[in-house]
Amino acid sequence: MDLVAALSLLTFIIYVFIGVHTFKSSTSSAETKLFLLLCLSLSIWSLGYFLGNIPTFFASEPLMKLAAIGWCTFTTFVLHIALRFTNNKLFKNKLLQVLLYVPSIFLIYVRVFLHWEGISSTDSIYVIFSLVNTIYNISYQSLSLIVIAIWGKRQLELNKKRQAVIVVSSSAASFGINFLSEAGILPAMGQFYALIMVLGIYYAIIKYNLLKIPSDILFDEILAEMMDLFFLVSPTGEIIEINKRTVSLLGYSEREILNMRIEDLFSEKETVKKIVLESPYDKHIYQELNCITALGKQIPMDVSCKKIIDEKSKKVISTVIIGHDITLTKKLEYELHVHEEIEEKLRVSEEKFRVMFSEHSAIMLLIDPENLNIFSANASAQKFYGYDQEDFEKMKITDLNGAENLGNSDIGNNLKNILDKSVTVIETTHRLSNGEMRNVEVHPSPIKGGDKIMVFAIIHDITERKKAEEYITYLAYHDALTGLVNRKYFVETLEEELRLQVNDPKKLALIFCDLDEFKYINDTFGHGAGDFVLCEVGNRIKDCIKGEGIVARLGGDEFAIILFNIENYMDAEKYIYKINGRLQIPMKINGNKLNIRASMGISVFPDDGTSVDDLLKNADREMYSVKRKNYENVNN
Q: What is the distance between the alpha carbons of residues 337 and 279, in angstroms, rounded to a whole number?
A: 32
Q: What is the distance between the alpha carbons of residues 415 and 396, in angstroms, rounded to a whole number?
A: 14
User: Which residues contact residue 446 at a Cβ distance below 8 angstroms, ignoring those fewer than 6 apart?
Assistant: 369, 418, 419, 421, 453, 454, 455, 456
* Average of per-residue pLDDT across 605-630: 92
* Average of per-residue pLDDT across 541-568: 93
Give the Å distances, CA to CA, from 121 to 130, 134, 290: 9, 15, 74
What single DSSP character describes residue 111? I
Contact 566, 507 (CB under 8 A): yes
Using the predicted structure, report yes or no on whether residue 388 has a pLDDT greater than 50: yes
Confidence of residue 214 (pLDDT cuts 50, 70, 90): very low
- Considering 348-352, 493-497, 500-504, the range whose residues carry the highest mean pLDDT is 493-497
Confidence of residue 222 (pLDDT cuts 50, 70, 90): low
* Average of per-residue pLDDT across 513-518: 92
Residue 356 has a pLDDT of 66
Element counts in the chain: helices (H) and strands (E): 24, 16
Confidence of residue 285 (pLDDT cuts 50, 70, 90): confident
Kindly report the number of other CB atoms within 10 A of residue 285's CB atom. 15
Using the predicted structure, report yes or no on whether residue 566 has a pLDDT greater than 60: yes
Q: What are the φ and ψ backbone dihedral angles of 552, each rounded to 5 degrees?
A: -135, 150
Using the predicted structure, report yes or no on whether residue 345 has a pLDDT greater than 60: no
The DSSP code sequence of 160-180 is HHHHHHHHHHHHHHHHHHHHH
Q: pLDDT (tens digit, 9 = 90+) per residue, 93-119?
A: 778 878 888 998 888 888 877 755 666
Residue 560 has a pLDDT of 96
- Considering 43-57, 160-174, 400-414, 553-567, the range whose residues carry the highest mean pLDDT is 553-567
* Average of per-residue pLDDT across 82-90: 77
Q: pLDDT (tens digit, 9 = 90+) per residue, 292-341?
A: 999 999 999 999 888 888 766 677 888 889 999 988 888 887 887 776 77
Mean pLDDT over the full length of the chain: 83
Q: pLDDT (tens digit, 9 = 90+) per residue, 3-39?
A: 777 888 888 899 899 888 888 877 767 778 888 898 9
Residue 437 has a pLDDT of 92
Q: Between 531 and 218, where is the model more confident? A: 531
Q: pLDDT (tens digit, 9 = 90+) per residue, 133-182?
A: 888 888 988 998 998 898 888 876 677 788 888 989 988 998 888 888 87
Residue 331 has a pLDDT of 86
Using the predicted structure, report yes or no on whether residue 87 has a pLDDT greater than 70: yes
Give percent above pLDDT 90 in the chain.
Answer: 28
Q: Between 226 and 496, where is the model more confident? A: 496
Residue 82 has a pLDDT of 86
Residue 567 has a pLDDT of 87
Domains and their CATH numbers in the chain: 3-213 (1.20.1070.10), 219-325 (3.30.450.20), 343-466 (3.30.450.20), 478-635 (3.30.70.270)
Q: pLDDT (tens digit, 9 = 90+) per residue, 412-449?
A: 666 667 777 766 788 889 999 999 999 998 888 888 76
